[in-house]
């Protein structure tokens, strides 16, 4: 499907009847070079970069429901690369660079909006920690600015700067951070991958992984068996379930993370703002709704819905920095399943089974990672070696001790 001003005008006067599907609803073939399990943004991005960067287009993306029905459509659409640790910064900065060129690359409007991400700090100690983080970012070529209280006030005058417990002292600002329209990312990658010959197979749930002599040979699905030389898992939230089909246990717990949208209001919040003394992040969608979230519920869950205590906690965080939103009504809330890894960082690696590749453990960070995750996973699948920006995301780091614990919370997944 091509879009043009002419097509827009033509459909406007003909009752919107001549639009065609943006990608084929493919039926599965008997065999592929690569089968990607999971038709979320990561899986589709992987397929796209496999075809575009590595010339491997005999690829199927298997999705148990419709593409983008899982976490790709359940996140809070934030992009940023304000990380501290050397294992993380190059990866997330590579992702940011890909975001910056994504619309041109896909020829699709994904609404990349670099409106800035403001991480508020509320104490001298936190300012010092943010200064350190900002310096780490600058050393890696990432933009970062440490703002004092008055500089923040100039940007966001309506915050509660004088809260008795958590006065706002300043913020770490990444101007290149922002938001992206999450569904458009899915649709853009799906359309672009489909054009390069990738089969996107929906309503096709993987029920088993076929292994012969320690080598993957295909998958069983609800639409029949499919042979494949390589099988790649990109099913964050359900990684443990899929890995169990291959006899693997992962350093991951599945947790539920809730997110919220308020009723629409006039332009109020022009950045992404995070509360430093609790856990709360907020931005405003183009429709006017405030999109926000915070902590996990905190217990293992595959329910895609959470409980009220987490909602209360998130709203308390919001009230602490912007009490004027207290009268707004929440119009929707939802839960997504996140792979909480044991050190809070992802895994992009081979597995002990030859030909089986794993992309998992995204914790809170999956959406912003989408382009680089697809890029690096495709690189790994095509060349059997890690991409230079994802070398630290090894599965064996939990045995070797080379953990990437950005938060310093230890092996307690619900604290990352």
Partner 1 sequence: MRINCPHCGERDVREFTYLGDASVQRPDPQVADALERFTSYVYFRDNPAASHRELWYHGACQAWLVVTRDTRSHEIFGVESLKPRTLGAGSGGTAP
- Give the x-and-dash track for 215-244 against partner 1 (CB under 8 A): -----------------------x-xx--x
Q: How many CA atoms lie within 13 A of 382 on its CB side?
A: 21
Report d(CA 109, CA 104) in Å as an integer.
Answer: 8
Quick one: 40 or 251, whose CB is closer to partner 1?
251
Q: Which of 3, 10, 19, 299 binds partner 1 (CB under 8 A)?
A: 299
Q: Which of 165, 249, 287, 329 binds partner 1 (CB under 8 A)?
A: 249
Establish if 351 lies at the interface with partner 1 (CB under 8 A).
no
Establish if 207 lies at the interface with partner 1 (CB under 8 A).
no
Establish if 285 lies at the interface with partner 1 (CB under 8 A).
no
**How far are the Cα atoms of 104, 132, 159, 292 from residue 315, in angstroms, in the given order?**
38, 29, 15, 9
Report d(CA 383, CA 187) in Å as an integer.
Answer: 27
Q: Which residues 92-151 are close enough to bind partner 1 by CB under 8 A?
A: none
Nearest to 95 by CA among 414, 395, 393: 393
Quick one: 288 or 298, whose CB is closer to partner 1?
298
Contacts of 387 (CB under 8 A, 6+ apart): 348, 375, 376, 379, 380
Coil/strand/helix, residue 86: coil
Establish if 349 lies at the interface with partner 1 (CB under 8 A).
no
Q: Which of 98, 232, 342, 372 binds partner 1 (CB under 8 A)?
A: 342
State the helix-helix crossing angle for 366-383 and 41-54, rounded to 10 degrees: 40
Q: Which of 3, 10, 19, 302 binds partner 1 (CB under 8 A)?
A: 302
Establish if 413 lies at the interface with partner 1 (CB under 8 A).
yes
Q: Which of 247, 309, 323, 352 binds partner 1 (CB under 8 A)?
A: 309
In whole angstroms, the minimum distance from the beta carbon of 398 to partner 1 comes to 4
In whole angstroms, the minimum distance from the beta carbon of 342 to partner 1 comes to 5
Establish if 383 lies at the interface with partner 1 (CB under 8 A).
no
φ, ψ of residue 187 in degrees (nearest 5): -65, -40
In whole angstroms, the minimum distance from the beta carbon of 313 to partner 1 comes to 9
Quick one: 202 or 414, whose CB is closer to partner 1?
414
Establish if 284 lies at the interface with partner 1 (CB under 8 A).
no
| Contact between residue 131 and residue 179 where contact means Cβ atoms under 8 Å apart | no
In whole angstroms, the minimum distance from the beta carbon of 71 to partner 1 comes to 16
Establish if 300 lies at the interface with partner 1 (CB under 8 A).
yes
Quick one: 309 or 408, whose CB is closer to partner 1?
309
Establish if 252 lies at the interface with partner 1 (CB under 8 A).
yes
User: Which pair of tokens denotes residue 120?
Assistant: 């508020």
Establish if 406 lies at the interface with partner 1 (CB under 8 A).
no
Q: Which of 1, 303, 324, 331 binds partner 1 (CB under 8 A)?
A: 303
| Contact between residue 374 and residue 46 where contact means Cβ atoms under 8 Å apart | yes
Report d(CA 300, CA 291) in Å as an integer.
Answer: 24
Q: How many other C-beta atoms are found inside a 10 Å radius of the C-beta of residue 111?
A: 17
In whole angstroms, the minimum distance from the beta carbon of 279 to partner 1 comes to 16
**How far are the Cα atoms of 50, 61, 101, 102 from residue 107, in angstroms, in the given order?**
18, 21, 10, 8
Establish if 333 lies at the interface with partner 1 (CB under 8 A).
no
Quick one: 4 or 400, whose CB is closer to partner 1?
400
| Contact between residue 46 and residue 232 where contact means Cβ atoms under 8 Å apart | yes
Quick one: 95 or 301, whose CB is closer to partner 1?
301
Report d(CA 325, CA 322) in Å as an integer.
Answer: 6
Establish if 412 lies at the interface with partner 1 (CB under 8 A).
yes
Quick one: 237 or 318, whose CB is closer to partner 1?
237
Establish if 209 lies at the interface with partner 1 (CB under 8 A).
no
In whole angstroms, the minimum distance from the beta carbon of 298 to partner 1 comes to 5
In whole angstroms, the minimum distance from the beta carbon of 172 to partner 1 comes to 30
Report d(CA 61, CA 138) in Å as an integer.
Answer: 37
Contacts of 140 (CB under 8 A, 6+ apart): 86, 89, 90, 93
Q: What is the DSSP code string of 328-367? A: PPEEEEEEEEEEEETTS--EEEE-SSBTEEEEE--TT-HH
Establish if 69 lies at the interface with partner 1 (CB under 8 A).
no
Q: Would you tell me which residues interact with partner 1 (CB under 8 A)? A: 238, 240-241, 244, 249-254, 298-303, 307, 309, 342, 398-399, 411-414
């Amino acid at each position: 499907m091509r879009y043009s001003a002419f097509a827009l005008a033509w459909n406007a006067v003909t009752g919107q009847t001549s639009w065609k599907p943006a990608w084929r609803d493919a039926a599965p073939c008997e065999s592929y070079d690569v089968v990607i399990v999971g038709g979320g943004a990561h899986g589709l991005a992987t397929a796209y970069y496999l075809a575009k960067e590595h010339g491997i287009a005999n690829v199927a993306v298997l999705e148990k429901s419709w593409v983008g029905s899982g976490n790709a459509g359940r996140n809070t659409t934030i992009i940023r690369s304000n990380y501290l640790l050397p294992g993380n910064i190059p990866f997330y900065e590579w992702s940011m660079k890909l975001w910056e060129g994504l619309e041109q690359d896909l020829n699709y409007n994904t609404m990349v909006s670099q409106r800035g991400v403001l991480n508020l700090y509320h104490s001298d100690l936190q300012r010092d920690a943010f200064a350190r983080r900002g310096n780490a970012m600058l050393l890696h070529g990432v933009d970062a600015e440490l703002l004092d209280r008055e500089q923040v006030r100039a940007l966001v005058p309506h915050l509660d700067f004088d809260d008795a417990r958590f006065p706002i002292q300043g913020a770490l600002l990444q101007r290149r951070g922002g938001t992206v329209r999450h569904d458009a990312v899915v649709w853009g990658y799906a359309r672009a991958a489909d054009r390069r010959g990738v089969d996107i197979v929906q309503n096709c749930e993987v029920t088993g992984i076929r292994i012969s002599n320690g080598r993957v040979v295909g998958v069983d699905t609800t639409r029949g068996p499919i042979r494949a030389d390589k099988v790649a898992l990109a099913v964050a939230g359900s990684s443990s379930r899929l890995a169990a089909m291959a006899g693997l246990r992962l350093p991951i717990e599945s947790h539920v993370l809730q997110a919220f949208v308020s009723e629409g209001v006039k332009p109020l919040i022009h950045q992404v703002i995070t509360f430093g003394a609790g856990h709360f992040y907020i931005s405003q969608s183009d429709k006017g709704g405030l999109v926000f979230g915070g902590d996990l519920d905190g217990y293992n869950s595959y329910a895609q819905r959470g409980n009220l205590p987490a909602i209360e906690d998130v709203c308390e965080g919001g009230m602490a920095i912007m009490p004027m939103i207290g009268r707004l009504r929440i119009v929707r809330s939802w839960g997504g399943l996140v792979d909480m890894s044991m050190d809070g960082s992802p895994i992009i690696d081979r597995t002990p089974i030859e030909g089986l590749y794993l992309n998992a453990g995204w914790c809170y960070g999956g959406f912003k990672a989408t382009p680089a995750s697809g890029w690096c996973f495709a690189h790994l699948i095509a060349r059997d070696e890690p991409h230079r920006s994802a070398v630290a995301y090894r599965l064996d780091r939990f045995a070797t001790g080379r953990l990437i614990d950005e938060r310093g919370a230890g092996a307690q997944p619900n604290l990352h």
